[in-house]
Structure 1
Amino acid sequence: MLMYKNQTNYLIMGILLFTALPQSAFAGSWHEHWHHHYKNNHIPTFSRQAALPDRHLTPGVRNPKVTQSNIYQTICVRGYTRTIRPPEHYTESLKRKQIRQYGYPAGRNKLWFFEEDHLMSLELGGSPTSPQNLWPEPLKTQGGWGAHTKDRLENRLNHMVCDGQMSLRKAQHLITHNWIKAYRAMYSP
């Protein structure tokens, strides 16, 4: 009987402790894991054409504060893009609007299917806030040409500009004209 009483006391203490702690102490990690897993497994694959923006809506816009003569004070400085990146509330609001403008149909228009991306990346002197330089880029497209693939090219072009292997204008042209073609030229054998 004494053993049973101790088990009951431990059970009551455990329940009290559990209910006294904020839910986030328990819910945060499994909820985040489930949400991440759910979102990643339920992102549709868009057509290859969706990997490139509509040139009329998103032609790409330069940041007038970045020039070839000041790249070592701007885009070549580690952490520079953090200083000019627009706030999330701005890009999320723009993403909602642009998903409608791009005409993505119901069921394929969830915010988490896209990254609101700079066509001319901040690392290459693109405008941080111009709607003509931002577009809802699908995370997954046929052939693997989604947002994360473009990020790799942006980083490579930035290194080439900062190492003096390519002019800023040339890198800007490559990324805005057809980033998939530029990627293939950079990474194909």
Structure 2
Amino acid sequence: MISPSRRARTSSICLGLLVVAAMATGCGSSGSSSTASAGVVTHASPSLAAGSGSTVGGASGAPGGVVTVPASGHVSGVYPARCRAVDGGQRPDPTCTPGAVQDAVTQATIGSTICRHGWTATVRAPESETTKVKKAAMIAYGEPASTSSTTELDHFVPLELGGSNDVRNLWPEPSDEPGRGVGNSKDEVENHLNAAVCRGQVGLVAAQQAIAADWTTAEQTLGVAR
């Protein structure tokens, strides 16, 4: 049995991390019920905690830039206690969400990964995890629960460009297209850049860096504007 004082300390730690996916010790049903609603421990190992990972990009304003992490079909990592979107909510906090990509997706493997029809479905995290992640992300970003129906848990560097399910690549993106639910104009940019990479118009890393630096100008930056 967890003592009251130990339970209080455990609850405080869990709430401060705002973490997501259900493998916690002391942060699940054996602990405080209010802790479970804030989020639970992810599939991440300590080496995948926010701030670690090898740098592959130089996203504008992002400490360390885009990072490379092991490929996984599960959510990994932890959110900092507080994040703030920038540019009127168009882009995520560069400290919380700098972008993360899978190590299995490289220029040499695009033919068997992002350029193969249906591949993203094989690496997308299950809804049982992303539903919890979205709630934790909205709490971390200070987004009210009432906006959930028009907020997407977005892969900042999209799966179509080798993006990861690590929380450094997941943020609560508000829709900028009224009437489309969680639909967002960023979706069209992602599809266009995937096509450009698969046609050989631009390199994979260049596309990853450009969308993480500023998705609103990525196409122009890469010279593939529609």
More helix by share: 1
Deviation per residue, 1:34-53 (Å, 9 max, x gap): xxxxxxxxxxxx99520101
Segments of structure 2 that go 5 or more residues without pairing to the other structure are 1-84
- Are the aligned partners of 2:175 and 2:183 in contact in 1 as well (CA < 8 Å)? yes
- Within 5 Å, give how 1:62-141 maps onto structure 2: 62-104=101-143, 106=144, 109-127=146-164, 129-140=165-176
In structure 2, the residue corresponding to 1:50 is in which secondary structure? coil
Q: Distance in 1 between matches of 2:220 and 2:134?
A: 28
Q: Distance in 1 between matches of 2:158 and 2:86?
A: 22
Q: Distance in 2 between matches of 1:125 and 1:49?
A: 26
> Taking CA–CA contacts closer than 8 Å with sequence separation of 6 or more, which of the two structures ends up with the larger relative contact order?
1
Cα 1:47–1:54 shift into 2, 3 Å: closer
Deviation per residue, 1:38-96 (Å, 9 max, x gap): xxxxxxxx995201011111110011110110100100001110111111121111111
Q: Distance in 2 between matches of 1:52 and 1:181?
A: 12
- Are the aligned partners of 1:51 and 1:141 in contact in 2 as well (CA < 8 Å)? no
The code of the aligned residue for 2:176 comes to K
Q: Distance in 2 between matches of 1:109 and 1:57?
A: 22
Cα 1:156–1:148 shift into 2, 3 Å: same
Q: Distance in 1 between matches of 2:197 and 2:136?
A: 33
Displacement of 1:113 after TM fit?
A: 2.2
Segments of structure 1 that go 5 or more residues without pairing to the other structure are 1-45
Question: Do residues 160 (structure 1) and 196 (structure 2) align?
Answer: yes
- Are the aligned partners of 1:61 and 1:130 in contact in 2 as well (CA < 8 Å)? yes
- Are the aligned partners of 2:86 and 2:92 in contact in 1 as well (CA < 8 Å)? no
Using the aligned pairs only, state the percent identity: 39
The code of the aligned residue for 2:158 comes to S
Q: Distance in 2 between matches of 1:148 and 1:100?
A: 21
Cα 1:183–1:49 shift into 2, 3 Å: farther
Q: Distance in 2 between matches of 1:47 and 1:55?
A: 8
Q: Distance in 2 between matches of 1:47 and 1:58?
A: 11
- Are the aligned partners of 1:117 and 1:135 in contact in 2 as well (CA < 8 Å)? yes
- Are the aligned partners of 1:50 and 1:141 in contact in 2 as well (CA < 8 Å)? no
In structure 1, the residue corresponding to 2:132 is in which secondary structure? helix
Cα 1:171–1:121 shift into 2, 3 Å: same
In structure 1, the residue corresponding to 2:114 is in which secondary structure? coil
Correspondence for 2:217: 181
- Are the aligned partners of 1:51 and 1:137 in contact in 2 as well (CA < 8 Å)? yes
